[in-house]
């Protein structure tokens, strides 16, 4: 509704969400091979970050080279290095669904950080989607 006041993030209840983001080779910046996916907002209460519980990829057009992809978190959206949320990268030369094992040492993403899709090299033809399930409530 027009004129509705903005609700400050500290008044949000706990988040339990799934986000899906499509990607294709033209979206990756060829100088750093990344796509910023999501910003983790600071919250005054109910936690100061998110926990990533799962990451799944759907590869619909494969890459001819043996390139890989992963989700990392870093403090800036242009970062080319950061902490990987996965225990291993996912090959882009295999068609279909690829599930990952979450690196539980790195799956807490502090507020003010970015989730970033990072490829190992410039992508010539890959198309797909990454689905991330996360929560703001810690155990």
Distances (CA, A) of 37 to 5, 13, 16, 69, 105: 26, 22, 17, 13, 21
List all residues 6 or more positions away from 83 whose beta carbon is below 8 Å from its beta carbon: 72, 73, 74, 103, 106
Tell me the Ramachandran region of residue 104: left when phi exceeds 0, alpha when psi lies from -120 to 50, beta otherwise.
Answer: alpha
pTM: 0.88
Count Cβ neighbours within 10 Å for each residue of 14-35 and write b for 16 or more, e otherwise: eeeeeeebebebeebeeeebbb
Q: Indicate the average pLDDT of the chain.
A: 88
Asked whether 22 and 129 are in contact (CB, 8 A), the reply is yes
Q: What confidence tens digit (pLDDT) does each residue in 23-52 have?
A: 988 887 677 889 999 999 887 655 589 999
Q: Look at residue 92 in the predicted model and tell me its pLDDT.
A: 92
Per-residue pLDDT band at 131 (split at 50, 70, 90): very high
Alpha-carbon 96 to chain mean position? 19
């Amino acid at each position: 509704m027009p004129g509705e006041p903005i609700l400050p993030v500290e008044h949000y209840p706990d988040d339990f969400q799934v986000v899906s983001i499509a990607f294709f080779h033209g979206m990756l910046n060829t100088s750093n091979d990344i796509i910023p996916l999501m910003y983790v907002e600071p919250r005054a209460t109910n936690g100061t970050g998110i926990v990533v519980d799962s990451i799944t990829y759907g590869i619909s057009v494969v890459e001819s080279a043996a390139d890989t992809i992963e989700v990392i978190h870093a403090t800036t959206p242009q970062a080319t290095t950061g902490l990987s949320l996965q225990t291993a990268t996912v090959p882009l030369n295999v068609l279909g669904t690829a599930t990952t094992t979450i690196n539980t040492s790195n799956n807490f993403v502090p507020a003010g950080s970015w989730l970033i899709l990072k490829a190992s090299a410039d992508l010539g033809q890959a198309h797909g989607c990454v689905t991330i399930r996360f929560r703001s409530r810690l155990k």
